[in-house]
Amino acid sequence: MTLHIPFDNSYAALPDAFYARLDPTPVKTPSMIAWNNALADELGIIGQSAEAFAGNTVPEGAAPLAQLYAGHQFGSYNPQLGDGRAILLGEVIDQSGQRRDIQLKGSGPTPYSRMGDGRAWLGPVLREYVISEAMHALGIPTTRALAAVGTGQPVLREQGPLPGAVLTRVAASHLRVGTFQIFAHRGHIDELRTLTDYAIARHYPDADGPMGLLAAVCQAQADLVAAWMSVGFIHGVMNTDNCTISGETIDYGPCAFMDAYHEGRVFSSIDQTGRYAYGNQPRIAVWNMAQLATALLQLFDDKEAAVEEATVIVHKMPGQLQSAWLRRFGAKIGLENPTPDDQPLIEELLALMQKDGADFTNGFAALGTDSARDQFTDRDAFDAWSQKHEARIGPNAHTIMAKANPKIIPRNHRIEAMIEAAVAGDMAPFERLTKALSTPDQTTDDTLHRPPAQSEIVPATFCGT
């Protein structure tokens, strides 16, 4: 069947300063590894083609380009980043009327590659495919995976030659805080204004100017980070170039879901200071929004008044985060309308989890069952907490908890085992994991909800280069 993608491109109509136009670099022997039929249907895509999604052919109507942006990486500003191994093919309008980007990741070098080869190997491609689709199934805003294609040629990394692959990523857009930062830093005010107008029209049409955009993005990011926290997700690289204006999760490099709960848990192999630790994510989200505010201030003649307005907006964000966190965690313990008075009850349970090294996902999933206390070593302490919990919850608590507490997550040791098998040519673990994670409220595959044994623990993940 001939591939048909109903492109309706808008970013490519922006001035040339926003991107570099180029086609993907062809690969040796493309082969389809995974294809997301349900997502393809949502996007109105008919047919599939390993050639097109590897970058060997450019689909009709595409306008391939690499996007330009900058960003703070671990707190240090890098004045130019950009898509170093990704090509935006174009956009479609999905069945719900929303505009969606279609991007190839690992599609060869671009003018922004910074000495890199522009390629990706199979492991990070499958990791992003599995985890992003799991996040979608959990109801958390995220980029999604449409296809994974093998390239038939090796990628050279420190570990040696590894099988190459290309991921097709779908997003509400790839606009980032760093997209605004690069034009503000360079003093390119016309481009910054064009970008701001574009972002408002595309994502927040009700926003009133730059400060309205800032307020909308702050709320979206507050909701997103609270959602991450509620499933034990640690992003790992919350740099401003990985912080989307749309409020979607993007970049599944050194990320992971916690097993044993600990507020200071870090998975990124390059995060030596704990900047992006689990419990630090709300503070970093606020910091990132302060950087967006700083960029948008360049649009105002009256800087003093603009600073005052932006400060008020950003200073509201901790409260927004706290409210979103309370809604999420209140639901996790079965509260229909949690109030600030309920926060100590939630925090007491989390402190007990951290003290006992209890499994975050299984501990919450067991609440309200006879096996709940078995998740804790200090059962007397849990029993004391449980008495207070029982006194607070209402008749719908079990239904609320069932909806808020997934039974299965993409555990790090399962992801690594899946990658190892795939490199050896066995895709069965990938298919098994992808299927199970599509229904996180069920445990049809009982072995996948088990935490890792001591010998299976994967303490760190690496950037997907």
Catalytic residues: 241
H helices within 4-140, ranges in order? 37-43, 50-54, 122-137
Residues 6+ apart with CB under 8 A from 332: 230, 346, 364, 367, 401, 404, 405
User: What CA dihedral angle connects 363, 366, 371 and 374, to 10 degrees?
Assistant: 0
Contact 121, 153 (CB under 8 A): no
HSE-CB at 29 with a 13 A cutoff on CA atoms is: 4
Contact 135, 250 (CB under 8 A): no
Q: How far apart are CA 121 and CA 118, in angstroms?
A: 10
Q: DSSP character for 84?
A: S
* Residue 449 structure tokens: 């909800």
User: What CA dihedral angle connects 128, 133, 136 and 137, to 10 degrees?
Assistant: -140
Largest CA distance in the chain: 66
Taking the chain, what is the end-to-end CA distance rounded to the nearest angstrom? 33
Of 61, 65, 25, which Cα lies nearest the Cα of 44? 61
Of 280, 257, 263, which Cα lies nearest the Cα of 346? 263
* Residue 10 structure tokens: 């808008």
Of 209, 212, 184, 276, which Cα lies nearest the Cα of 239? 276
Contact 314, 231 (CB under 8 A): no
Angstrom CA distances, 18 to 13, 14, 246, stand at 10, 7, 18
* Residue 343 structure tokens: 């926060």
Q: Identify the burial level of 159 via C-beta atoms within 10 angstroms of its C-beta, where 0-12 means exposed, 13-18 middle and 19 or more buried.
A: exposed
* Residue 296 structure tokens: 């948008």
